[in-house]
Amino acid sequence: MKHLLSTSDLSREDAIRILDTAEQMAATQEREIRKLPTLRGKTVVNLFFEDSTRTRISFEAAAKRLSADVINFSAKGSSVSKGESLKDTALTLQAMGADAVVIRHWASGAAERLAGSGWMHGAVLNAGDGTHQHPTQALLDAYTMRKHLIGAAEGPGAHVETATGNDLAGLTIGLVGDVLHSRVARSNVALLNTLGAKVVLISPPTLVPVGIETWPVDVVHGLDAALDKYDLDAIMMLRVQRERMSGGGNSFFPSPQEYTRLFGLDGDRMRRLPDHAIVMHPGPMNRGLEITAEAADSPRSVIVEQVSNGVAVRMASLYLLLAGEEGGA
């Protein structure tokens, strides 16, 4: 693996290898000394053109626990106010000898552009590009689903002994909310499909992209209808941007209240899920909008665990990109 740009580039074997490696990484985090020497002497740059403290510190923790040197590079610049260009930033990082660049950018395709441009030679890890992809988020989601649902006591994942080495065949996963603007949704759709799970997108018609009919998913335009029709093994509530839900000519929905009524996950809807089903959210949550406190804080919620799984998955990704086949964990 040279870069990690999109979950659609991953084969089933690639994906399982990352998830299995993440399991090993997670196991090391139970030890008294959590730091591994694996990436000693390597330099990882966190290049963030868009603020995201959560994602940045997750990558920073992952790199540091593998003993890499970490440089955080927060670059100003947007489509409106151009700062330093991506190209010049990349040339700078190349000159500084970055072995890997973790990039978050407002422009879809920025990570792919960085990897394919010849501006720098290091590994590129996409930490979110516009409304396109956020592959480590989908990998940590898949990791979390596999851990809870594959090899479990009940449910469609009970047919195998253990999660390790397995995909997500037999699971039905619901993603609820704004698919149109969501890199989390795009990443998850591709990865879950590769791993054999069925995907149900539960979304208002204004928030699914034109062209979705070619995606390997079912689309349902209401949460109640979806709960009637499917036994969801996991339900993932996507973050909704309040400004897209209210007022103005660019609104995708009449009001936040109506969104909550039709698509919000509350206690009653949560109780209609199968007993073994888990509740997920990529964070940060809008409590009271897409999810109520009752659902977010319930025993079925794995939302906080997703965060710690994120560190393990990012450790695995950095390890596979930088240490490759040559070293051991």
Partner 1 sequence: MSPSHTAQSFVIENAALLGEAESSIVVENGQITLVRGSETPLTDAEIPDGAVRIDASGLVALPGLVDLHTHLREPGREDAETIESGSRSAARGGFTAVLAMANTTPTADTAGVVEQVWSRGKEVGLVDVYPVGAVTVGLGGTQLSEMGAMAMSKARVRVFSDDGKCVHDPVVMRRALEYVKTFDGVVAQHAQDPRLTEGAQMHEGVVSADLGLAGWPAVAEESIIARDVLLAKHVGSRVHICHVSTAGSVKILRWAKAEGIDVTAEVMPHHLLLTDESVRGYDPRFKVNPPLRTQEDVDAVREGLADGTIDIVATDHAPHPDEDKDCEWGSAAMGMIGLETALGIVQKTMVDTGRLSWAEVANRMSALPSRIGRIEADHGRAVAEGEPANITLVDPDAAYTVDPAATSSRSNNSPFGGVELPGRAVATFLRGTPTYLDSRFEGMFA
Q: Does 3 bind partner 1 (CB under 8 A)?
A: no
105 binds partner 1 (CB under 8 A): yes
Of 265, 277, 213, residue with least CA distance to 240: 265
Applying CB under 8 A, which part among 103-111, 232-240, 251-259, 318-326 lies near partner 1? 103-111
Q: Does 132 contact partner 1 by CB under 8 A?
A: yes
- Strands annotated E in 177-271: 198-202, 218-220, 234-237
Residues in CB range of 91: below 8 A, 6 or more apart: 119, 120
**Residue 205 interacts with partner 1 (CB under 8 A): yes or no:** no
Contact in structure between 281 and 235 (CB atoms under 8 Å): no
Nearest CB to partner 1, comparing residues 91 and 293: 91
Backbone angles phi, psi at 47, to 5 degrees: -105, 105
**Site pattern 6..25 for partner 1 (x: CB under 8 A):** --x-----------------
Closest separation in Å from C-beta 218 to partner 1? 16
The Cα 313–Cα 184 span in angstroms is 15
Residue from 65, 183, 244, 314 binding partner 1 (CB under 8 A): 183
Cβ–Cβ under 8 Å, residues 85 and 78: no
Site for partner 1 in 133-172 (CB under 8 A): 133
Please, which residue, 78 or 162, has the CB nearer to partner 1?
A: 78
Q: How far is CA 64 from the centre of its chain?
A: 20
- Cβ–Cβ < 8 Å for 12, 313: no
Nearer to partner 1, 9 or 266 (CB): 9
Q: Shortest Cβ distance from residue 87 to partner 1 (Å)?
A: 6
Contact, 138 vs 184, CB < 8 A?
A: yes
Q: Which residues pair with 174 in a beta bridge?
A: 200, 235
Of residues 37 and 118, the one with the C-beta less far from partner 1: 118
Task: Report 230-269 residues binding partner 1 (CB under 8 A).
Answer: 249-250
Minimum CB distance to partner 1 smaller for 186 or for 276: 186
Which residue in the set 1, 9, 106, 170 belongs to the binding site for partner 1 (CB under 8 A)?
Answer: 106
Distance, in Å, from the CA atom of 185 to the CA atom of 262, rounded to the nearest integer, reads 19
Q: Would you put residue 140 in left (φ > 0), alpha (ψ -120 to 50) or beta?
A: alpha
Q: Which stretch binds partner 1 (CB under 8 A): 130-138, 218-226, 269-277, 299-307?
A: 130-138
Q: Which residues bind partner 1 (CB under 8 A)?
A: 8, 79, 82, 85-87, 105-110, 112-113, 116-117, 129-133, 183, 186, 209-212, 214-215, 249-250
